[in-house]
């Protein structure tokens, strides 16, 4: 992230005041340090020293908050620079692909983050300030992360294919039968092996992996070793992978993790990206899961080049008045709703999991009694009214189990495909490190 010019100039100006009015000789002028410098050339872009310094500070703050010891500065700097290079490549792909994050999307993301932390936007701003970040800096970071997420969805997620036969085979397997079992909070360390590496390079990586495992067995801090040694994308987070089900993990980890006690680490396992170790941080669940569903129908009117946002709102309001006056909801939806997925069904979304809906729709639906019309409201798609036809709590149906299996199999493939794709774009890029 680029440092503001005023922030760079401020220490230089203060230094000039301390010179007590002395005139600088030409030789002294020649010793003036540059404001910033390039530390890496990445294809058609560069990474500046100020960006590296800013990210180093953020990572060091994160490590301190976790209570872990930071690795040596040169090791941490190399990890952070490699992360910046990978991010820069993905942002360039996003730029070439025309991926843009609108101010409205960014504002919604900021609001969602604040809400998840039980804060107002003003409280969120104050919390950022305490961590030394401005709201503008946070917005730029979130924008970058949203672009990278969309690039990955296009380049990685969309190429993952899971056949119906794979889903059925999974459901018939022991792992499939345990898909509603425990979840595991995991961290990993990846000792990376370059693609096409010779036997000497592989053996060296294996020795590093075994040395790392021995240190962990002797009580070394996992997060610190992840930051200093891991080649995984989550290395700077101490290797934290979040919560996973066993079925989301590639073999043999899908079975090994169930044998671990909290705090234990698997032995290094050779995988396509390199040698991997997993640590079990915590586990939860195992009980039967129940899903709340809502039967709902709606009418959507979108603003357009010939219909302003206010005109769209007024049209939906008139439709609401007509329904209250006795006209048929389904008929109006078939005639006028601009949601192609539900209009032909009279606006009926059938029984639906609220978690699958955008927050604006979900919130109005939650506050609308069954059998009543909602007030007019707006979502990212346009203006709506909805009617709740019923609510139920249901055990996971066969269809739901199939969807879970599909999601788990896609996630399993996604992790490996992501690492392979990141390695590919890094290998194919022109990168010149100038540290």
Kindly state the greatest CA–CA separation across the chain: 89
Domain tally, the chain = 3
Q: Determine, yes or no, domain membership for 215.
A: yes
Same-domain pairing of 47 and 126: yes
Same-domain pairing of 276 and 346: no
Q: What is the rounded average pLDDT of the residues 154-174?
A: 84
Q: Determine, yes or no, domain membership for 432.
A: no
Q: Determine, yes or no, domain membership for 220.
A: yes
Where residue 383 falls among pLDDT bands split at 50, 70, 90?
very high
Same-domain pairing of 345 and 366: yes
Tens of pLDDT, residues 325-359: 999 999 999 999 999 889 999 999 999 989 889 99
Q: Determine, yes or no, domain membership for 13.
A: no
Cα 189 to Cα 204: distance, rounded to the nearest angstrom: 16
CATH number for the domain that contains residue 103: 1.10.4030.10
Report the Cα 180 to chain-centroid distance in Å: 24
Q: Determine, yes or no, domain membership for 208.
A: yes
Cα 207 to Cα 209: distance, rounded to the nearest angstrom: 5
Where residue 395 falls among pLDDT bands split at 50, 70, 90?
low
Q: What percent of the chain has pLDDT over 90?
A: 52
pTM score: 0.51
| 399 against 136, higher pLDDT | 136
Q: Determine, yes or no, domain membership for 29.
A: no
H-type helices in 156-198, by residue range?
Answer: 164-172, 174-177
Whether residue 148 is predicted with pLDDT greater than 90 in this model: the reply is: yes
Tens of pLDDT, residues 195-213: 889 999 999 999 999 999 9
pLDDT, residue 33, reads 52
Q: Determine, yes or no, domain membership for 356.
A: yes
Same-domain pairing of 222 and 323: no
Provide the sign of the torsion angle of the four alpha carbons 98, 103, 104, 105, taken in this order: positive
H/E stretch holding 293: strand 290-301
CATH number for the domain that contains residue 311: 3.10.50.40
Same-domain pairing of 140 and 211: no
Whether residue 413 is predicted with pLDDT greater than 50 in this model: the reply is: yes
Domain that holds residue 375: 290-394
H/E stretch holding 380: none
Same-domain pairing of 301 and 385: yes
Count of beta carbons in the 10 Å neighbourhood of residue 272: 12
Same-domain pairing of 371 and 316: yes
Same-domain pairing of 279 and 205: yes
pLDDT, residue 181, reads 66
Give the closest residue to 51 by CA, choosing from 85, 10, 92: 85
Cα 250 to Cα 415: distance, rounded to the nearest angstrom: 9
Q: What is the rounded average pLDDT of the residues 265-270?
A: 95
**222-229 vs 73-96: helix axis angle to the nearest 10?**
60
Residue corresponding to tokens 């890496």 = 40
Residue corresponding to tokens 């000039």 = 16
- Beta-carbon contacts of residue 265 (< 8 Å; ≥ 6 apart): 213, 216, 217, 222, 277, 278, 279, 280
Same-domain pairing of 275 and 318: no
Same-domain pairing of 69 and 151: yes
Same-domain pairing of 307 and 345: yes
Tens of pLDDT, residues 79-114: 999 999 999 999 999 999 999 888 888 888 888 888
pLDDT, residue 34, reads 57
pLDDT, residue 397, reads 54
Q: Determine, yes or no, domain membership for 154.
A: yes
Give the closest residue to 166 by CA, choosing from 408, 1, 399: 408
Q: Strand, helix or coil at 413? A: helix
Q: What is the rounded average pLDDT of the residues 296-302?
A: 96
Residue where a domain stops, chosen among 284, 301, 335: 284
Same-domain pairing of 280 and 342: no
């Amino acid at each position: 992230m680029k440092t503001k010019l005023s922030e760079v100039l401020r220490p230089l100006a203060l230094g000039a005041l301390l010179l007590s009015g002395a005139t600088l000789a030409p030789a002294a002028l020649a010793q003036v340090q540059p404001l910033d410098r390039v530390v890496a050339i990445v294809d058609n872009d560069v990474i500046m020293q100020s960006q590296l310094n800013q990210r180093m500070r953020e990572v060091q703050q994160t490590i301190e908050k976790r209570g872990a010891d930071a690795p040596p500065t040169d090791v941490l700097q190399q990890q952070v620079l490699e992360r910046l290079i990978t991010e820069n490549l993905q942002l360039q792909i996003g730029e070439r692909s025309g991926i843009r994050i609108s101010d409205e999307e960014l504002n919604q993301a900021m609001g969602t983050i604040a809400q998840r932390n039980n804060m107002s936007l003003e409280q969120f701003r104050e919390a950022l300030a305490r961590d030394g970040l401005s709201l503008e800096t946070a917005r730029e970071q979130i924008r970058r992360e949203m672009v990278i997420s969309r690039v990955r969805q296009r380049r990685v997620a969309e190429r993952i294919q899971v056949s119906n036969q794979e889903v059925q085979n999974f459901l018939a397997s022991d792992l499939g039968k345990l898909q509603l079992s425990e979840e595991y909070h995991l961290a990993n360390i990846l000792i990376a092996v370059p693609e096409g590496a010779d036997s000497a390079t592989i053996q060296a990586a294996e020795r590093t992996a075994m040395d790392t495992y021995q240190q962990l067995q002797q009580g070394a801090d996992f997060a610190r070793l992840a930051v200093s040694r891991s080649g995984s994308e989550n290395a700077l987070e101490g290797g934290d992978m979040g919560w996973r089900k066993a079925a989301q993990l590639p073999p043999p980890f899908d079975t090994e993790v169930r044998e671990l006690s909290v705090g234990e680490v698997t032995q290094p396992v050779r995988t396509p990206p390199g040698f991997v170790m997993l640590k079990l941080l915590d586990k939860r669940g195992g009980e039967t899961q129940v899903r709340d569903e809502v039967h709902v129908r709606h009418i959507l009117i979108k603003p357009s080049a010939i219909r302003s946002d206010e005109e769209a709102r007024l049209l939906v309001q008139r439709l609401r008045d007509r329904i209250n006056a006795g006209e048929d909801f389904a008929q109006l939806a078939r005639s006028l709703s601009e949601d192609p997925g539900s209009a032909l069904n009279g606006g009926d979304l059938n029984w639906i999991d609220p978690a699958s809906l955008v927050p604006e729709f979900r919130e109005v639906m939650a506050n609308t009694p069954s059998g009543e019309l909602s007030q007019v409201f707006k979502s990212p798609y346009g203006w709506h009214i909805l009617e709740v036809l019923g609510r139920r709590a249901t055990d996971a149906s066969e269809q739901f189990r199939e969807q879970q299996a599909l999601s788990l199999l896609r996630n399993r493939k996604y992790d490996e495909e992501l690492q392979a794709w990141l390695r590919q774009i890094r290998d194919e890029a022109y990168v010149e490190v100038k540290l």
